[in-house]
Chain A
Amino acid sequence: DVQMTQSPSYLAASPGESVSISCKASKSISNYLAWYQQKPGEAYKLLIYSGSTLQSGTPSRFSGSGSGTDFTLTIRSLEPEDFGLYYCQQYYEKPNTFGAGTKLELK
């Protein structure tokens, strides 16, 4: 299975700041990468797919980049509602696999 390594596992930031989350695949996955957000008490939400395509409804302050093995989720000018858990997922190869998650907390 393709291993997905996410970093950092924990990130503290203030509203208005910009943050980046890294996701590295154990082999090339082209751009078959998605990012999800989970907030307490809410369902998982698809933010980005195909590495950089924003899902309908995802605010433009979110962006995804990368291809091959290295990917980045960037959130510019954090809003209070952005704090939560973020996961990357590869869907290049079956079974699709997820990173361990990054917890973004309010500093």
Chain B
Amino acid sequence: EVQLQQSGAELVKPGASVKLSCKTSGYTFSNYYMSWLKQMPGQNIEWIGNIYGGNGGTGYNQKFKGKATLTVDKSSSTAYMDLSSLTSEDSAVYFCAREYYDGTYYYDYVMDAWGQGASVTVSS
């Protein structure tokens, strides 16, 4: 069974950074892309970027360049997202989600397995 287990809720001060994790199991991590997404209360889901588990290659939504940094640790099949210089606009639930690969074709940005979400609250 494919599982994406995200780290817990974070309460951080403005200007600080936070690192979220997404530990995976049940599939070959290096064969898939992992996306990260943001959902603020009452707002649309926003795609932040993605990273390839095989070589760590990344792609970002221009809006989140400089805000988010995606990395992977293949040895532990875990994806990470660093968020820097946090403000109240970064308070949201963040999701990791695996992009769909049917064994032959990569369906870019179609997410077939999601983590449960991690809440980040930025407050002094």
Contact A91 B97 (CB under 8 A): no
Is the beta-carbon distance between A43 and B116 smaller than 8 angstroms?
Answer: yes
In the complex, which residue of chain B has the Cβ closest to the Cβ of A38?
B114
Contact status B115-A43, CB under 8 Å: yes
Counting from the closest, the 4 A-B pairs by CB-CB distance are A91-B109, A96-B109, A95-B61, A44-B114
Set of chain B residues within 8 Å of A101, measured between Cβ atoms: 44
B59, CB-defined interface residue at 8 Å: yes
Give residues 64-107 of A contacting B (CB, 8 Å).
87, 89, 91, 94-101
A-B contact pairs, 20 of them (CB 8 A): A4-B44, A34-B110, A34-B111, A43-B4, A43-B114, A43-B115, A43-B116, A44-B97, A44-B111, A46-B111, A46-B112, A50-B107, A94-B61, A96-B47, A96-B109, A98-B44, A98-B46, A98-B47, A99-B44, A101-B44
* Cβ contacts under 8 Å, B111 to chain A: 34, 36, 44, 46
Chain A, 1-44, contact with B by CB distance < 8 Å: what is the 0/1 string?
00010000000000000000000000000000010100000011
11 new A-B contacts at CB < 8 Å, known A44-B95, A44-B111, A94-B109: A43-B117, A87-B45, A91-B110, A94-B59, A95-B62, A97-B44, A97-B46, A97-B47, A98-B46, A99-B44, A101-B44
B82 interface hit (Cβ, 8 Å): no
Any chain B CB within 8 A of the CB of A49?
A: yes
Q: Mark B53-64, 1 if CB is under 8 A from A, else 0.
A: 000000101110
| Chain B contacts with A in 84-124, Cβ cutoff 8 A | 95, 97, 100, 107-117
Contact residues in A for B4 (Cβ distance below 8 Å): 43
Say whether B110 contacts A98, CB under 8 Å.
no
Cα distance A100–B71 in the bound complex, in angstroms:
29
The answer, among B47, B97, B100, for a CB contact under 8 Å with A95, is B47
Q: Who on chain B is nearest to A55 by CB?
A: B112
A99 to B4 CA separation, bound complex (whole angstroms): 24
Which of A43, A49, A94, A95 touches B107 (beta carbons < 8 Å)? A49
How far apart are the CA atoms of A107 and B13 in the complex, in Å? 43
- Inter-chain CA distance A26–B44, complex, in Å, is 15
On chain A, the residues within 8 Å of B95 by CB distance are 44
User: What is the chain A residue whose CB lies nearest that of B102?
Assistant: A56
